[in-house]
Structure 1
Amino acid sequence: MRDILKLLSCMLFSFSVAAMEPITPLEAVQDLSLDKVRLGQKLFSDERLSRDNSVSCLSCHDLSINGADEKSLSLGINGKKAVIKTPTVYNTTYNFAQFWDGRSRTLENQVSGPIHNPLEMGSHWGEVIRKLQNDAAIVRSFNTLYDDGLTASNIADAIATFERSLVTVDSDFDRWLKGEENVLSEEAKQGYALFKSYGCISCHQGRNVGGNMYAHMGTFGNYFSDRKLPITKADYGRFNVTGIEEDKYLFKVPSLRLVSLQKYFFHDASESNLESAVKIMAYYQLGRDVNDTDAKLIAKFLQSLVGRHTLLEQR
């Protein structure tokens, strides 16, 4: 009887917490073709997708570390430097759009971007297909899984299917949301309360703690002027997609699920300290000054958002 009451208590706690909170637990995507996931994973690490066979998706999206890059700006073919920070590939299936400027609505469409970007892979679909056609095992896999075999859309589908499998589940915070009262540290709980009271939650909510809206960089201050660096085309954000003046400096709000594992922050990779990044965001996006103690506590909460995946090393 005692066990039953304990179970009911946990269920009630889980329901009450989940029902009230603006963040919801991450769940793995169901019903993915495991064969397509495996094929997509092979392609994700295949350097033949680049013009000179030197760069793969994995080159800039290190799945063992954070799904992004340890460099501030990734290096493409011939050592060319990217113009914007590489975002994590983990949990991207739950973003409402892809890339910082949201120019791709789907993961399938996103795949084409790096392949054609002259600073990244510098290739094109015709060249990629020509190379892969010489790989009997790859051709056989495509013929088995797709009626029309090896095509650009099927390559994109396989990689996107693999990316949909990259969901980090069972974070301490999600387990707390589901009813495990003691799994979350008091510091993380305090940090979450501050995250909400300062207003961070207004842009970072939902199951991905972001990735579901756009926001202007520098709502309560001129971030780009204070940054003291030349404004680049990448800084224009969504304007580069729409051409609408009001969309200048507008960016997709990033997910914070793995933010504590990142080495650099913001689209321009201009900050390398998580607590400082918290302060900067609060100042420019909320008009709030966050003290050192509160920034540390919010960072503790952000650390609790890191979930688990077999390809992600636990630290």
Structure 2
Amino acid sequence: MNCKPKSLALVIVVTLLSNVQVNAQDLTVLPVVASKHGDTKEKVELGKKLYFDPRLSATGTVSCNSCHNLMEGGDDGRATSMGVDGLTGPRNAPTVWNSAFQASQFWDGRSATLEEQAKGPMVADVEMGMLGHDQVISRIKDIPGYISEFEAEFGKGDGVTIENAVDAIAAFERTLITPNSGLDRYLAGDKFAMSDGQVRGMDLFESSGCTECHFGPAMNGWRPGSDAEFTEFPRFVESPFVQQFDLAADLGRSSATGDDADEHHFKTPTLRNITLTAPYFHNGRVSSLAEAIQLMASTQLDVEFTSEEVADLTAFMEALEGEFPNLSLPRLPSRSGESVIHASVKARPSDQG
């Protein structure tokens, strides 16, 4: 089986009610499917097991779900995540919900695909802490049940590879979609799907310039087939919020590219389910959504919203919470009578965020 990443094939299912007009111009209904050709039920289930398995970390304590908790907002509610041995990294964990609908991964966009992104945390010292991907695969091969599942999906012989492991994880992550929010229903024609305050907030969101960056179905500047784009943050460095929340300390994308022109540029994060992913921003320093709205107005638009406008924008953000799929926890395969976790290993440099 050819297991190389294929181009994203989106199936967009949208039902429009006739003769109903809405005001939104830059916002789009969230797609309900993001699967690729080859994302079989069995591959998705294998990817789910790997996603939830802490044995892919050096200490057997950290899984993908540790920092991207699917039982909540797809993040971990911390300013920065805690990995093996209690270590923490420099950046806030982005949500994994709807992560298929973006053209790059991590805050600095250093990974172009979900598959590539999944490799990073495994060998980051402040995250899962494995010495190398060969050690990850060795750990998987120590578990007979995994060998059987990899061979069933990818073929016998050399089926257990890091490429196949992240292919499966990405296939599972492409199922993590939250459609049918109040905004989606409103955009599809249900004029009662959002309150008056939420509609006012949406209109202000567009008229004030927020959709310069936060447009499209995931409200992160992504559209099917689009290239990754990065936004300068903070834009207005004289804003008092810059010093208050230490927003200029992180050089952003330039740390990944080495290009000075990329300094303080970051991937635009999705606003879908934003009410569930506090604290906010790349350093996780802002604890409330209302304050995050004021900060963005000041640092990106050079305006100040009134308390009534903040209330309307906050109400609009509540209309971005979608419907979460029902997920059952997987049963992980084990090696009978013997642990696969042994002594701690030395880890590679940080790859968080």
- Is residue 208 from structure 1 mapped to residue 218 from structure 2 by the alignment? yes
Matched ranges for 1:60-209 at <5 A: 60-123=67-130, 124-147=132-155, 148-209=158-219
Q: Secondary structure at the match of 1:251?
A: strand
Higher-RCO chain (CA-CA 8 Å, sequence separation at least 6)? 2
Q: 1:254 aligns to what SS in structure 2?
A: coil
Distance 1:245 1:167 in 2: 35
- Tell me the CA shift for residue 21 of structure 1: 2.3
Report the more deviating stretch, 21-30 or 186-195.
21-30
User: Which one-letter code corresponds to 1:150 in the other structure?
Assistant: V
**Quick one: distance in 1 between partners of 2:99 and 2:200?**
28
Aligned residue type for 1:96: A
Aligned mate of 1:262, from 277, 283, 290 = 277
- The alpha-carbon deviation at position 36 of structure 1 amounts to 1.1
From 47, 57, 66, the counterpart of 1:40: 47
The answer as to whether partners of 1:194 and 1:298 remain within 8 angstroms in 2 is yes
Q: Within 2, Cα distance between the matches of 1:247 and 1:301?
A: 31
In the alignment, residue 157 of structure 1 is paired with which amino acid?
D
C-alpha distance in 1, partners of 2:186/2:42?
33
Rounded Cα–Cα distance in structure 2 between residues aligned with 1:54 and 1:203 = 37
Q: Secondary structure at the match of 1:93?
A: coil
Secondary structure of the equivalent of 2:42? helix
Q: CA deviation at 1:130?
A: 1.1
Question: Secondary structure, in 3 states, of the residue corresponding to 1:12?
Answer: coil
The 1-side partners of 2:184 and 2:25 are apart by 11
Moved more, 28-37 or 61-70: 28-37
Q: Is the 1:73–1:83 contact (alpha carbons within 8 Å) kept by the matching residues of 2?
A: yes
1:243-263 superposed Cα distances (whole Å, 9 cap, x missing partner): 111211110010000111112
Q: Which runs of 5 or more structure 2 residues have no equivalent in the other structure?
A: 1-14, 223-228, 328-353
Relative to structure 2, which stretch is displaced further, 130-139 or 272-281? Answer: 130-139
Alignment TM-score, normalising by the size of structure 2: 0.81
Q: TM-score, normalised by structure 1?
A: 0.90
**Inter-partner Cα distance in structure 2 for 1:133 and 1:91:** 31
Compared CA separation, residues 9 and 143, structure 1 to 2 (3 A): closer
- 1:15-34 residue pairs with structure 2 within 5 A? 16-17=21-22, 21-27=25-31, 28-30=33-35, 32-34=39-41
2:260 maps to 245
Deviates more, 1:127-136 or 1:104-113: 127-136
Work out whether residues 210 and 255 of structure 1, in 8 Å CA contact, stay in contact via their aligned partners in 2: yes
Q: How high is the sequence identity, in percent, across the aligned residues?
A: 35
Instruction: Give the conservation status (yes or no) of the 8 Å contact 2:177–2:325.
Output: no
- The RMSD of aligned alpha carbons is 2.0
Name 1:236's counterpart in structure 2. 251
Indicate if the aligned counterparts of 1:96 and 1:105 stay in contact, CA closer than 8 A: yes
- Which residue of structure 2 aligns with residue 276 of structure 1? 291
Instruction: Give the Cα separation in 1 of the matches to 2:238 and 2:137.
Output: 46
Structure 1: which 5+ runs fail to align? Answer: 1-7
Contact 1:94-1:211 within 8 A present in 2 as well: no
Return the alpha-carbon distance in structure 2 between the equivalents of residues 292 and 92 of structure 1: 32
Aligned residue for 1:5?
none
The structure-2 alpha-carbon separation of the partners of 1:230 and 1:294, relative to structure 1 and needing over 3 Å to count, comes to closer
Query: Higher mean Cα deviation, 31-40 or 85-94?
Result: 31-40
In the superposition, relative to structure 1, how do residues 283 and 229 fare at CA in structure 2: closer, same or farther (>3 Å)?
closer
